[in-house]
Amino acid sequence: MNLDKNRLIVIGVAAFAVLVILANTIFVVDQRTQVLVLRFGEPQRVINVPGQRQAGLSLKTPFVENIVRFDRRNISLDTQGEEILVQNGARLVVDAFLRYRISDPLQYYRAFNTEALATGQIERLTTSSMREVLGRATVTQVVATDRAKLMQDIETDIGKRVRASKYGIEVLDLRLKRVDLPEANREAVYERMRTDRGQIAAQKKAEGVQEAAKIEAEARKLIGDIRGQADAERAKIFADSFGKDPSFAAFYRSMQAYDESLTQGDTTLVVSPDFLRYFTPSSR
């Protein structure tokens, strides 16, 4: 009876030991994660890296190797409101949204060891890039005119920094969610922006008036030149005609004199009979 009991105990202990060994040997790799296998704390291999499909059951050496899991999907990071100093001494409160993925788990582990440490370091790097890029811009550029370009410049700067630091991550996208003025100086900055806009509008208006006056002067000169040329051509035609027929020339000049003298309303004229010779029967 005792022998059977001892045998059952041995079998139970052996089964438990096998289960423990299997539990430390077999592990499951989820398709959404990538696994770094460590041996005595030293990285050995990576399973299910981006570009490969190795999800499912996998094996490791029991009690010698352990695993660290990292997210294989895109990771989002929201930075808290950071006060950024831009041109002209103005300050802006900026919230950013960063998306990245772990492209090299081995480098990522060596750089950060844990995801918590990585999150803090990447957030500080993002803030540093924002200060660097936005510090060269004006409030108007950040808030309105060049916002898309500035976001692209920040994303490019972060990408260069993570590659230089060998963080093992790939920056996918960056967006400025909220760009606002600090409560303390918001009204003052708004008033300065309105003043700057008013000055620009006044300058543009003055330039428009000056350009309009210049165009009008050029138009007047052009009309004067055309009119002068027309008068000269007219005089030439009359002169040529008068030279061919002196009697017609005299008649035409008399008609011009009649038109200028006899259309003056109630004006009384005293003229010689010769002036009205074309109205006498003998002139016909």
Domains parsed from the chain with CATH numbers: 2-71 (no CATH), 75-180 (3.30.479.30), 257-284 (no CATH)
Quick one: pLDDT at residue 16? 83
Average the pLDDT over 41-49 and give the result: 85
234 sits in which H/E element: helix 186-244
Query: Average of pLDDT values for 235-241?
Result: 70
CA distance 164 to 134: 21
Pairing state of beta strands 91-102 and 82-85? Answer: antiparallel
Average of pLDDT values for 126-148? 86
**Confidence (pLDDT) at 284:** 45
On average, the pLDDT of the chain sits at 80
The DSSP H or E segment spanning 2 is: helix 2-23
pLDDT in tens, 209-222: 888 888 888 888 88
Residues 6+ apart with CB under 8 A from 108: 70, 102, 118, 167, 168, 169
Residue 203: pLDDT over 80: yes
Encoded amino acid at 84, one letter: I
Any long-range contacts for 143-148 (C-beta under 8 Å, 24+ apart)?
143/92, 143/179, 147/176, 147/179
pLDDT above 80 for 280: no
Is the CB of residue 128 less than 8 Å from the CB of residue 192? no
At 23 the three-state DSSP class reads helix
Q: How far apart are CA 197 and CA 216, in angstroms?
A: 28
* CB atoms closer than 10 angstroms to residue 159: 17
> Worst-scoring range by mean pLDDT, 80-84, 181-185, 220-224?
181-185
Contact criterion met (CB below 8 Å) for 183 and 93: no
Q: Of 208, 171, 176, 195, give the one whose Cα is nearest residue 74.
A: 171
pTM: predicted TM-score of the whole model, two decimal places: 0.57
Q: How many CB atoms lie within 10 A of CB 210?
A: 10
pLDDT at 256 over 80: no
DSSP summary character for residue 73:
S
- pLDDT exceeds 90 at position 185: no
- Lowest average pLDDT, out of 105-109, 132-136, 143-147, 154-158, goes to 143-147
- Residue type (1 letter), 119: T
pLDDT at 155: 92
Specify the amino acid at residue 95. Answer: D
